[in-house]
Homo-oligomer: A and B are copies of this chain.
Amino acid sequence: MNDRRREPGQASGQTSGQTSLADIAAEAGVSVSTVSRIANGDLGRASAATVAKVQRLIAERGYRPNPVGRSLRGGDSRLVAMLAPNLDNPAMAAIAASTEAALRAAGYVMILCDTHDRPDLQDEYLRAMRSRFAEGFIVVSAVASPELEASLDRREPIVFVNRRNPYGGGPFIGIDNRQAGADAADHLLACGVRAPAVIHPADLSSTIRERVEGFLDRLEERRPGLTVRRCDGPGGNHLDCGYAAAKRLTADGGWPDGILCPSDLMAYGLFRAAGEQGVRIPDDCRPVGIDDNDLNDWIAPWLSSVKIPYQRFGDAIVTSLRDLRAGNSVGEVLLPHRLVRRQSGPAMAEDPA
């Protein structure tokens, strides 16, 4: 008889206060192994009586396996890390919300990390999450970084969202950005726009580049020889960037009658610049965005935008992650987008200026 065995019913952890396998085992008068097996559904290894007794105790005491012990043992941690460039961006919040729900439904817990689009922070989080035994990584708008490269080398399960793997390959969830740009071009032409323009951040991510290229290519295809004015703004925040780029674009040459803003936030920046200059949106200048922030329906009725189905990203991400962990080769998932037309604003006061 093991006299070091904990007394039945005595609380175990000074730390957690939760009932542990040992508690149940002591109370049932069986070994920890037996309880562990029964708790994990291996019912063939004990007598029916024992199984019943242990199951009753598990239910009674509300035993739930401790994930930390499991992690340490090398089992599953049920932890997935999501690295996002900035939580402030409504698009990121939408992705985070949908992913969180999908992960929870699949029995996982999500750790959300804000990388501020900085390689060093991305690396720090990659390391921190690895040592917490995260079972997978979701990297939204990844940037190239040493630790990411290392993770890829070790074949850790990483799903890229929105922006492709900077080192190439790997599962990707997003939309057909070139097509989205082309759709935006079609929309502007359909609206009778004659002299379209485009603004974008100075440092082009793959995502933005594809959108802009898709836009320009489609215009060239349908209106050969048409010159499309193009201007960039300082990187970082897309709001500021859109504002600055719009001002730069229009400083010489005035306002175009239609313009692609490759993200909704840039369109918001442009909207502010227009307001300051008394330019009417969308009458004087018709913007088309990409993202279609949910708030558009409420407060940006002047913005037509390509809707990216962020609510559907969660499921796609979790599916890819599972396939990846199962060892299947996983490719790109391009979810369907569609342009949402908004023709006009609600009645608003005109600028008194």
Interface residues of A (CB under 8 A from B): 13-18, 64, 66-69, 71-72, 74, 77, 86-88, 90, 92-94, 96-97, 100-101, 104, 109-114, 127-128, 130-133, 154, 239, 268-269, 271-272, 274-276, 278-283, 294-295, 297-302, 343-352
Chain B residues with Cβ below 8 Å from A282 are 349
Chain B residues with Cβ below 8 Å from A279 are 347
Name the distance in Å between A227's Cβ and chain B's nearest Cβ: 27
Copies of this chain in the oligomer: 2
Complex contact B114–A111 (CB within 8 A) = no
Complex contact A269–B283 (CB within 8 A) = no
Chain B residues with Cβ below 8 Å from A111 are 109-112
CB closest chain-B residue, reference A349: B283
Q: A72-B68, A350-B350, A351-B346 are in contact. Are A272 and B298 (CB under 8 A)?
A: yes
Out of B100, B113, B127, B299, which one reaches A299, CB within 8 Å? B299
Chain B residues with Cβ below 8 Å from A13 are 74
Given contacts A16-B133, A90-B295, 18 further A-B contacts (CB under 8 A): A18-B131, A67-B132, A68-B68, A86-B97, A88-B93, A97-B114, A100-B114, A110-B112, A268-B298, A271-B299, A272-B301, A274-B346, A275-B348, A280-B349, A295-B295, A344-B351, A344-B352, A345-B350
Complex: A121 Cα to B34 Cα, angstroms: 31
Complex: A300 Cα to B303 Cα, angstroms: 13
Complex: A283 Cα to B15 Cα, angstroms: 60
Complex contact B112–A128 (CB within 8 A) = no
Complex contact A272–B295 (CB within 8 A) = no
Out of B66, B276, B278, which one reaches A131, CB within 8 Å? B66
Complex: A343 Cα to B275 Cα, angstroms: 13
Complex: A71 Cα to B295 Cα, angstroms: 41
Cβ-closest 7 pairs across A and B: A275-B346, A87-B97, A283-B349, A268-B298, A347-B351, A112-B112, A15-B74
CB closest chain-B residue, reference A93: B93
Complex contact B114–A101 (CB within 8 A) = yes
Complex: A112 Cα to B131 Cα, angstroms: 18
Q: A66-B131, A110-B112, A298-B269 are in contact. Are A97 and B88 (CB under 8 A)?
A: yes
